[in-house]
Copies of this chain bind each other. A is one copy, B any other.
Amino acid sequence: MSNTRLSGRLMAVTLADVARRAGVSLATASRVLNGSARAVSDDMRARVTAAARELNYVPNAHAQALVRATTHTVGVIVHDVSDPYFAEILRGIQRSAADAGRLMIVCNTFREPQRELEYVHLLQMQRVEAIILAGSGLDDRAYCRALTESLDSFASLGGRVAVIGRHNIAADAVVPDNVGGARALARYLFDLGHRSFGVIDGPSLLTTSRDRRNGFVQALTASGIDLPPEAIVSGDFTRDGGARAAITLLERFPSITALFALNDVMAIGALAALRERGIAAPDQVSLVGFDDIPIAADVTPALTTVRVPMSQLGAEALTLALSNEETLRTVHLPTEIVVRQSTAPPSAASSG
């Protein structure tokens, strides 16, 4: 259907016109055309859809949504649904949304900031009740300005917003302690005796990458260890990126005894890369991740990591998004180290 046909003749055709033409009640026509789950006989259905087609009727679904004011739907924007970190957050949001009688729709940006803005716009168009930005924020002025503008427009008309992580914008937020978790990891590895480290970094402008990286590096500095910039290599938060970064780091610095991957997905990639090259973990290299995604306990060796309460992050974000207060709120959630089998004191042979 072209816009011309729609904006001209078609919009004049009403549901009542369709019902009249089909010789059915308005209620029946509505049931057929508005997707009600209630049963309508095949004959009735055929007559109504035929009439709708003949008249080129377009259902006034959006006007209906407008009258209902909100769609009882929460829109969630994530970076990558196939990343278990987001999958767990979505599980938390979905559980709480179901309890609150809301439906959830998910938009996936694949880490493209421009697509994030498009989705905010789309969700506003769809009149969702609330938007949750579940992906990390960006330390980028232009992006923050554009996002603020979009979200303000949504909020000024009654839409609610909550974000997960540090976002540099004025919105209710649930923030896991990324800095503290990374600091604790650095101290833990230092106390085990490690002195030579490599960091498998996340995407550079993400606030989550920055906070984890800085927490780790600062704690090392406080222990008297200066990490050279070449000992930090991005793995883009992906499994294969983590594998490549691990190899690059160990080739650059054969003395490294401990690798910190900024998320578990990259740590699992690094683990596979080490195994392929016959480098034993933790005997030759200790490896730590971050997040404690469900699979972290199932790889061999099971991964030492920092537990981020992902599902709780989602649930709290939903609670913030559905409640309406003038005061901006930030919920801080603690993180904690989970020690498993991928870490050990450095062996005498490999400690540099």
Residues of A within 8 A of B (CB): 1-3, 6-7, 11, 32-37, 39-40, 45, 49, 52-53, 57-69, 71, 73, 75, 80-84, 87-88, 90-91, 94, 98, 103-108, 110, 115, 117-122, 124-127, 145-146, 149-150, 152-154, 156-158, 239, 268, 271-272, 294-295, 297-300
Interchain nearest-CB distance for A161 vs B (Å): 12
Q: Helix, strand, loop or mixed for chain A's interface? A: helix
A82 and B91 within 8 A (CB) = yes
User: How many angstroms from the CA of A6 to the CA of B268 in the assembled complex?
Assistant: 52
Contact B66 A35 (CB under 8 A): no
Q: How far is the CA of A73 from the CA of B105 in the complex (A)?
A: 12
Given contacts A53-B156, A82-B84, A105-B107, 20 further A-B contacts (CB under 8 A): A11-B67, A33-B153, A34-B124, A35-B124, A37-B117, A39-B145, A49-B152, A49-B156, A61-B66, A61-B127, A62-B62, A65-B126, A71-B126, A82-B90, A103-B115, A104-B107, A106-B108, A126-B126, A268-B298, A299-B300
Option from B40, B107, B239 in Cβ contact (under 8 Å) with A149:
B40
With A45-B152, A84-B82 as given contacts, are A127 and B62 in contact (CB-CB < 8 Å)?
A: yes
User: With A103-B107, A294-B239 given, is the CB distance from A125 to B3 under 8 Å?
Assistant: no
Once A69-B1, A82-B84 are accepted as A-B contacts, the answer to whether A64 and B125 lie under 8 Å apart by CB is yes
Q: How far is the CB of A308 from chain B (nearest CB, A)?
A: 15
Q: Do A103 and B119 touch (CB < 8 A)?
A: yes
- Residue of chain B at shortest CB distance from A299: B298
Say which residue of B52, B105, B146, B272 sits within 8 Å of A105 (CB atoms): B105
